[in-house]
Structure 1
Amino acid sequence: MTFRAHVLGAAAGGGLPQWNCGCKNCNLARAGDISAQSQSSVAFSGNGADWAIVNASPDIREQLARATALHPTGLRKSPIQSVLLTNGDIDHVAGLLTLREQQAFTLFATAEIQQVIADNPIFNALNPDFVSRKAIVLDEPFELVSGITARLIAVPGKVPLYLEGETVQTDLVGEQTVGVELEASGKRAFYIPGCAAMPDDLKARIEGANMVMFDGTLWQDDEMLRAGLSQKTGKRMGHISMSGADGSIAAFDGVKVDQKIFVHMNNTNPVLRPGSTEKALAEQAGWIVAQDGMEFEI
């Protein structure tokens, strides 16, 4: 059996190009000079036939249309057995509404994220006769899809933007932001699309993994401020940046991982431009910058 990952969407919320953004990357993508990217989602399979989707992006209809391995195998019969949510962000849950078409699957998330879904009546469109919702306890193993055992791990992060109050803690560690550890065929992989920092216990857990897909939202913390697009830093948004002494490239230095892949890139991130200095630096450090449609054997 082959343990596989298929990148359905490599970009952060808004995708590339973002509909209302005229930054360099978005204009290049509109002109066809760099590849457009849809919003964050990855599909995993432990046997090549049954699949789980991690995070249901608003672009999921088009993503599934492009992924032939996930096409229906019969009338109202999909190889997608489950969907797992790593947080309650709009770019990770809005696609659930596209999956309401009388298709049986299991929706996995922590109890806190499940409550966010339950509190919004629009998600009642997911008919419980077809979609079962299961709350997963942190660090407890469960079958994500045939052939894959998963564990949810707490990583530093924050609540979704639409749940923020006057005071926002961006390095919460609990059920609101998780990564997922996946095991199949004697191999071990991680998918962590949102992470505010790299504590020592997370490094130790990742050590020796066959693959890690990790938060690549921004190249530098003040990237969006420099571009004149936002007053928020990466840290304020709950994301560790790639570069710098406290960035993810430095944090992974010395951590043994067979394949390191950046996912969830913001539309401003210069690593999205082939030939950029920043992309070259990431690749020199052993990283692959994900793009829509990439497949990896783990």
Structure 2
Amino acid sequence: MRYFVILICFTLFSCKETQQNNYKNQPKNEQYITVLGIAQDAGYPHIGCQKECCTQFYSGKKPKQKVVALGLVDIKAKQKWLFEATPDIATQLADLEKHHLKTSNLIDGIFLTHAHIGHYTGLMYFGREALGKQGTKVFAMPKMKNYLTKNGPWSQLVDLKNIVFKDLKNDSTIVLNNNLKVTPFLVPHRDEYSETVGYKIEGTKKTALFIPDINKWEKWKKNIIDEVKKVDIAFLDATFFKNGEINRPMSKIPHPFIEETVNLFKNETLETKNKVVFIHFNHTNPALQKSSKEKIEVEKLGFQFAYEGMQFEL
């Protein structure tokens, strides 16, 4: 009996350690991408949600999920970049320092995709009320740069030189160093304040796509299947699992449902399907639930789902 109790305690402790140390179990390559957040703009739990999906957090059954962001790390060059400036940016930058690369420079640059709240509002923490440091590089497209420059409170960041812009152009590659380069490309989305881009991130060995927000795939001038085949990994918009998931007209907030993307790739090889990593989940999306039947069925088909701490060599 005593042995049994000791065994149970050891098992529970081991499980807890495994959950808390995703990072320690990942290989540290010289250049890699790490997932720093997976939730849609409003995060998880979601404001005003009293449904089971979010009450699981308040009852202690499910942890908070940070808003979508990727870290790009070059151990050899001692540099790191952030894709998206989310409301969770403080802990995401701390994550990069604690688990990946600590340098004298908090971050070597931030790449923005567009002006929706989960993707740029974290810039506020670089201002005088928070970090107050000058010179943080922000890679932005023309409309995004114009929006931040001409509208407060973001314009104060520009005026005080808390952020300095590095201009991006559609399909024009930025060389970060000898090992890494990044190319932005326009995608169709609800562009109220700025254009929207995805990114191709290229290392010396592998290449990744990052498209956290887009309207339906057929609205894009490029073929998503062809684009996935050209790379080694593709982080794709998976905001909603299927139509009717929320009590709002979903045509007003178009995204490719996971069901639609899965159907689009149904005749492709397992190798191609395995390149797809779904990300950017709304709080209602069953893909946020670790053991949901919907998620398990899609995984059986060969697709992947992003989680915090996930890493991909470049």
Which bin holds the TM-score, normalised by the shorter protein?
0.7 to 0.9
Q: Counterpart in 1 of 2:37?
A: 9
- For residues 66 and 19 of structure 1, what CA distance do their matches in structure 2 show? 24
* Residue number among 42, 50, 53 corresponding to 2:70 in the alignment: 42
Q: Counterpart in 2 of 1:172?
A: none
- For residues 44 and 82 of structure 1, what CA distance do their matches in structure 2 show? 10
Structure possessing the higher radius of gyration over alpha carbons:
2
Q: Counterpart in 1 of 2:215?
A: 196
Paired residue secondary structure (1:185): coil
Counterpart check, 1:94 vs 2:117? no
Residues 46/71 of structure 1: CA separation in 2 closer, same or farther (3 Å cut): closer
Q: TM-score, normalised by structure 1?
A: 0.83
- Percent identity of the aligned residues? 24
Conserved 8 A contact 1:41-1:54: yes
- For residues 26 and 205 of structure 1, what CA distance do their matches in structure 2 show? 35
Conserved 8 A contact 2:67-2:118: yes
Query: Which is richer in helix?
Result: 2
Paired residue secondary structure (1:66): helix
* Residue number among 232, 235, 239 corresponding to 2:249 in the alignment: 232
Counterpart check, 1:293 vs 2:309? yes
* Residue number among 112, 136, 150 corresponding to 1:85 in the alignment: 112
Q: Counterpart in 1 of 2:10?
A: none
Q: Counterpart in 1 of 2:182?
A: 150
Q: Counterpart in 2 of 1:206?
A: 228
Residues 266/145 of structure 1: CA separation in 2 closer, same or farther (3 Å cut): farther
- For residues 248 and 214 of structure 1, what CA distance do their matches in structure 2 show? 9
* Residue number among 85, 93, 113 corresponding to 1:64 in the alignment: 93
Structure scoring higher RCO (CA < 8 A, sep ≥ 6) equals 1
Q: TM-score, normalised by structure 2?
A: 0.79
Q: Counterpart in 2 of 1:248?
A: 261
- For residues 125 and 72 of structure 1, what CA distance do their matches in structure 2 show? 28
| Residue pairs, 1:97-246, within 5 angstroms | 97-100=124-127, 101=131, 102-126=133-157, 129=161, 131-144=163-176, 147-160=179-192, 176-199=195-218, 200-225=222-247, 231-233=248-250, 235-243=251-259
Deviation (angstroms), 1:130: 5.3
Conserved 8 A contact 1:194-1:239: yes
Deviation (angstroms), 1:198: 2.0
- For residues 103 and 7 of structure 1, what CA distance do their matches in structure 2 show? 26
Q: Residue deviations 1:214-273, cap 9 Å, x none?
A: 111000122012xxxxx231x421311101xxx112223427365321111000001111
Counterpart check, 1:266 vs 2:282? yes
- For residues 235 and 300 of structure 2, what CA distance do their matches in structure 1 show? 17
Q: Residue deviations 1:162-192, cap 9 Å, x none?
A: x5xxxxxxxxxxx711110111113110110
Residues 144/266 of structure 1: CA separation in 2 closer, same or farther (3 Å cut): farther
Residues 50/258 of structure 1: CA separation in 2 closer, same or farther (3 Å cut): farther
CA RMSD of aligned residues (A): 2.3
- For residues 103 and 284 of structure 1, what CA distance do their matches in structure 2 show? 48
Residues 99/118 of structure 1: CA separation in 2 closer, same or farther (3 Å cut): same
Q: Which amino acid aligns with 2:175?
A: E
Conserved 8 A contact 1:8-1:40: yes
Conserved 8 A contact 2:242-2:258: yes
Deviation (angstroms), 1:63: 2.1
Q: Residue deviations 1:107-165, cap 9 Å, x none?
A: 112111212212212113425645321221100111246632111112221124xx5xx
What residue ranges of structure 1 are gaps of 5+ in the alignment? Answer: 164-174, 226-230
Conserved 8 A contact 1:137-1:152: yes
What residue ranges of structure 2 are gaps of 5+ in the alignment? Answer: 1-28
- For residues 3 and 232 of structure 1, what CA distance do their matches in structure 2 show? 42
- For residues 288 and 198 of structure 1, what CA distance do their matches in structure 2 show? 18
Query: Which is richer in strand?
Result: 1
